[in-house]
Amino acid sequence: MALFTGKGDGGTTKLFDSKPGVRISKSSAIFKCLGQLDELNTIVGWCKVAAPDDFPVTGTPVRDVLLGVQDHLFTIQAEVAGAQKSVPQSSVEALGALINDIEKELPAIKTFLVPGGTEFSARLDIVRAISRRAERRLVTVHESGDRTVSEGSRAYANRLSSLFYALARLENQRAGVDERSPEYKTTNP
C-alpha cells in the first residue's frame, strides 16, 4: 500500500461507504470530525508513553487503559467513516465503572481546579480538553444527519473527558501535588 495516491490533491476523498466515483470534500463535517478524533487518538498515545510504569488504575496499568481508549477511538472513527462498527454499551458501562472507581480514591470536587501538576497530569489535562472538542464534532455530525453515530459511541466519547480528568487528579494525588482552585483574578498580573 502506497503512503499516498495523489487522488486527494484536489481536496476530496472517499469514505468506507462511498459509492463508486463519489468523492467528498475534505472540509466536510465528517472529515473535520475524523480529523478531530485522529488528533485525540494521537494525544492519548502521547499520554500513554508518558505514563509512569508504576501507575495502576484499579489493578490495570494506566498504559493498558489508555491503549483500550485508543482502540475504542479507532472504532468510533471507523463508524464515522461509514463502517458497520460501534462502541458496545458494555464498553460504555465499563468506562463509567472505571471512572467511579478512580473517583473513590479522590477527595470530592468543590470547585474548578487549575490544570497541571506533573508532566503526566498536564498531558491528561490537554487530552481532556481535546476529547471535549472531538465529542462536539461527533455530536455535530450526528445531529446534522450526515452520519448516524450510535448511542454507544456517543456515550463513550462523552465519558472520555471525565476519565482524563479523573486520571489527572489521581496522578497529582499520587505525586503529592496539591490541587489548586483558581483565584479568578480581576486585576493585571
- Domain CATH number, residue 37: 1.20.1200.10
In a domain, 6, yes or no: no
What share of the chain has pLDDT > 90, as a percent? 69
- Which residues are CB-neighbours of 117 under 8 A, at least 6 positions away? 168, 171, 172, 175, 177, 179
In a domain, 113, yes or no: yes
Distance (Å, whole) CA 184 – CA 162: 23
* Three-class DSSP category at 37: helix
CB-based contact 128:165 (threshold 8 Å): yes
Give residue 187's pLDDT. Answer: 84
In a domain, 129, yes or no: yes
Distance (Å, whole) CA 36 – CA 77: 10
pTM (predicted TM-score): 0.90
Give residue 179's pLDDT. Answer: 83
In a domain, 101, yes or no: yes
Residue-range definition of the domain harbouring residue 28: 24-175
- Which residues are CB-neighbours of 1 under 8 A, at least 6 positions away? none
Give residue 7's pLDDT. Answer: 67
Instruction: Please give the angle made by the CA atoms of 69, 98 and 75, to the nearest 5 degrees.
Output: 25
- CB burial of 94-118 (b: ≥16 within 10 Å; e: otherwise) equals ebbebbeebbeeeeeeeeebebbbb
Number of domains in the chain: 1
In a domain, 152, yes or no: yes
Average pLDDT in the chain: 90
In a domain, 3, yes or no: no
Structure-block grid coordinates of residue 158: 462523552
pLDDT for 46-84, tens place per residue? 999 999 988 999 899 999 999 999 999 999 999 999 999
In a domain, 60, yes or no: yes
In a domain, 189, yes or no: no
